[in-house]
Amino acid sequence: MTVTYNPKRTIYADFGPRRLHADNINPSVKAAKYAVRGELAVRAEEYRVRLANGEKDLPFDSVIFANIGNPQQLDQKPITFFRQVLSLLENPALLEKPDVLSSAFGYPQDVVDRTKLLLDDVQSVGAYSHSQGAPMIRDSVARFIEERDGFPADPQDLYLCAGASSGVSTLMNIICHHPSAGVLVPIPQYPLYTATLSLLNAQCVPYHLEEEKAWGTNVRAIRESLAKAKAEGTDVRAIVVINPGNPTGASLSPEDIKDVLDVAAEEKLVVIADEVYQTNIFVGEFTSFKKRLRQLQQEVPDKYDHVELASLHSVSKGMVGECGHRGGYFELVGFDPLVAAQIYKSVSIMLCPPVIGQCLVELMVNPPLKGDASYALYSQEYNGIRDGLHKRALALYEAFKQMEGVECQEPQGAMYLFPSITLPAKAMEAAAAEGRTADEFYCLRLLDATGVCVVPGSGFGQKENTLHFRTTFLAPGTDWVDRIVKFHAEFMAEYK
């Protein structure tokens, strides 16, 4: 049934009792895909519910959600100092009983002091804040950035947001002005970027990372993708870099970052630096795009002066793992003040980011210091989480190395491994018979047999004729890893 339109009169066809149906909603929403919460995750949740209801007919007794970086779903404990402060922020009447807080609940004085400091700024976590975020919290973030990078940061350039994802959405809405607008996105990539571009009816311009070089960023691949897109009429306006990488776990060197900034300077590209895993580093040290840009501006006058950089961070990852509190920030560097004013207007439309999430950002960037009452416990918890993640990453890596047809780069950072898999021809044929990609077929079989939910590489993008899957290493213990190893051996034997 067709709908005709003219400027004077619109005729709407009758599609039944409801105004909306699957064929007349925004097609850009229907085109967007987000693999980490796709069919596999839905099925995994169904299995979890069945187990919770006491069903005994499944071949496993627990579901492992290794499909998404959701640390506290997988038994990572909240950091005590953070939660103690948040509890008082939510119920400030408790501050009227300092003796009880100390004697009965063991709240140290620095918890009480930080709570009062935050309440002086926000008044109440149930009240709106400034649209960019509470001023004192942005001051704390600025100090954190200055101490991390050795270069000044201006609180006026900082925007607190409801997790980094919200910041990405804000920035993409500003950048993508027309269906011809394009953004360079690393492949494999976190599907937030391709999904957001689909929603905006804009163009994803993929550039492939080098798997054989620990998923490094190849500047030649960036330039080739850029040239091809421009030749096809795409107005390429920005480049996304995820460092450390998701789903790859790669960690960029200062020279890698310079290569990206060189392209940005020469081609006038906005750099979107997704740095939410900056504390999840196993090899080397984290270098921020802001630090490297400021260094280059000192070393090479003029060339980098007008590079536009937006860098993002979040409380969801690292050792904090507070995904559900939706806290994050982005910093603007080198943007035209008139553009920054439009970004401010855009965030103002949403009033403000969650205030409790803002407070958690302040705690993340300004944790207890040596000599503070909470420092010893904070340090113990933080280091325990960090060391545990690294230990599990290496255990999973070693397991993959022993599996037939599986190759995996050594973990450098983030919370993921992204192994490649080579499947027998019969498995490829079975996948095709079901109308599925081979990696999706493999991951569904893995879930059905073991209760371990991972994400097929096709959900992140991968080079043609390659297969991968992404798994987190957040789940405690090794039982679930043993499940994967056993399943893989049986799967390969079945399809030989």
* Bond preceding residue 188 cis, omega within 30 of 0: yes
Q: What is the mean pLDDT of the chain?
A: 89
Paired tokens of 298 = 């000192």
* Bond preceding residue 247 cis, omega within 30 of 0: yes
d(CA 69, CA 192): 13
Residue spans in the chain of domains classed CATH 3.40.640.10 = 121-365
Exposure of 183 in the CB half-sphere (CA atoms within 13 A)? 32
Among residues 477, 393, 447, 458, the alpha carbon closest in space to that of 420 is found at: 458
Exposure of 470 in the CB half-sphere (CA atoms within 13 A)? 27
Residue spans in the chain of domains classed CATH 3.90.1150.10 = 27-63+382-495
**What fold characterizes domain 27-63+382-495?**
Aspartate Aminotransferase, domain 1 (3.90.1150)
**What fold characterizes domain 121-365?**
Aspartate Aminotransferase; domain 2 (3.40.640)
Q: What is the pLDDT of residue 1?
A: 41
What are the tens digits of pLDDT across the range 266-284? Answer: 999 999 999 999 998 888 8
What is the DSSP pairing of strand 406-407 with strand 420-421? antiparallel
Q: What is the pLDDT of residue 36?
A: 56
Q: How confident is the model at residue 248 (pLDDT cuts 50, 70, 90)?
A: confident
Q: Are 222 and 241 in contact (CB under 8 A)?
A: no
Most confident of the ranges 7-11, 294-298, 343-347: 294-298
Paired tokens of 194 = 């391709």
Rg of the Cα atoms in the chain? 24
Q: Are 360 and 325 in contact (CB under 8 A)?
A: yes
Q: DSSP string spanning 266-292? A: HHT-EEEEE-TTTT-BSSS----HHHH
Q: What is the pLDDT of residue 32?
A: 67
Q: What is the pLDDT of residue 3?
A: 45
Q: What is the pLDDT of residue 423?
A: 92
What are the tens digits of pLDDT across the range 147-174? Answer: 999 999 999 999 999 988 899 999 999 9
